[in-house]
Amino acid sequence: MSSTRSGIRNTRFYDAANPKAPLGGLCQNGSITEANFLSILKILIVPEGKPVRAQERISGHVVTENNMSLVAGDYDIYCDDPIQVTNEPWVQRLSFRRNTPDRETIFQREVRTRDKKCVITGIANSDIQIQLGIWAERESLWIQYGYDQLITDMGNATGSSKIDSVQNGFLLNPTAQQLFDQYLISINPDDGYKVVVFGNDIFGYDGRTLDPVCRNPADPHSLSDQVLRWHFRQSVLANIRGVGEPIFEHDFPPGTDMVDEILAGPFGKERFEFAIATRLRGVA
């Protein structure tokens, strides 16, 4: 199964030259400021970095670089050049429970030792309830895009992708983990490590601050800002562009033919391959 991300949007934006067809939209839960909105548009509008002006349709208010909360509503976007929305690919993430709860990798132990709790909610560490990860199952793309260069706490041993660096993980409770894997929550390292919820904020995560325990600049194993920045960009691409990308089912009920469910849905072949790769990474 999959669902869309646009159903609960309360804010949409349009090309001022074509004001009837939305370019995209978002669910404003309160944390997105006017400055945040402009930075989001810079990610989405081609060419990236081209000056744009956003104006609230009813009031005529022009959005500026300030920390005022963006008012929910419809916005017209003006630009000197024709407005296009980027077709930059988004990277799907999958979340699968591994059937080896008694086995814990060195990577997991080190992250637990550093964080000791869910770094979004503050829930105390539990061997059963705490999960983790930013890049987990997409090692081939990690290597292809050279993200190992973002990792500074591991040597350059031949054959090492560095994907299991502590700088590429943090502790999250299962609910936050699912939302993070689906790009429905993310952390903006360029705005005080603020937690942004891109869907309905039923758990009250929106506007929180990532716990400093995992991002202490004096700690050589602190979480990588670049990795967080990558995830935030992916969240913008997945949630705000057009009608948004599909939200995939990942918590299959007992007795479900998971293979059939995956293959029958969008991106079935790719999701199946990722699922197999994820499980194989857990095999010693």
Question: Do 187 and 193 touch, CB atoms closer than 8 A?
Answer: yes
Both structure tokens of 189: 């390292």
Question: What integer pLDDT is reported at residue 281 of this predicted model?
Answer: 45
Burial of residue 131 (CB within 10 Å: 0-12, 13-18, 19+) is buried
| Residues 210, 188: Cα–Cα separation, whole Å | 9
Per-residue pLDDT at 37 exceeds 50:
yes
In this predicted model, what pLDDT tens digit does every residue of 142-162 receive, in sequence order?
Answer: 766 667 767 777 766 545 667
Q: How far apart are CA 253 and CA 176, in angstroms?
A: 20
Domain ranges of the chain: 7-85, 106-251
Distances (CA, A) of 149 to 136, 190, 230, 245: 16, 20, 13, 28
At 3, is the secondary structure helix, strand, or coil? Answer: strand
Q: Which residue has the higher pLDDT, 124 or 241?
A: 241
Residue 139, pLDDT score: 65
Express as a percent the part of the chain with pLDDT over 90. 49
| Phi, psi torsion values for 35, nearest 5 degrees | -65, -40
pTM: 0.82
**Tens-digit pLDDT profile for residues 172-207:** 998 998 899 899 999 999 999 999 999 999 999 999
Each residue's pLDDT tens digit, 214-229: 999 999 889 989 889 9
What pLDDT score was predicted for residue 145? 67
Among the residue ranges 30-44, 75-89, 178-192, 251-265, the one predicted with the least confidence is 251-265
If you average pLDDT over residues 88-110, what whole number do you get?
67
Query: Is there a contact between 196 and 240 (Cβ–Cβ < 8 Å)?
Result: no
Assess contact for 205 and 176: CB atoms under 8 A.
Answer: yes
Alpha-carbon span 172 to 125, nearest angstrom: 9
Average pLDDT value for residue range 43-50: 79
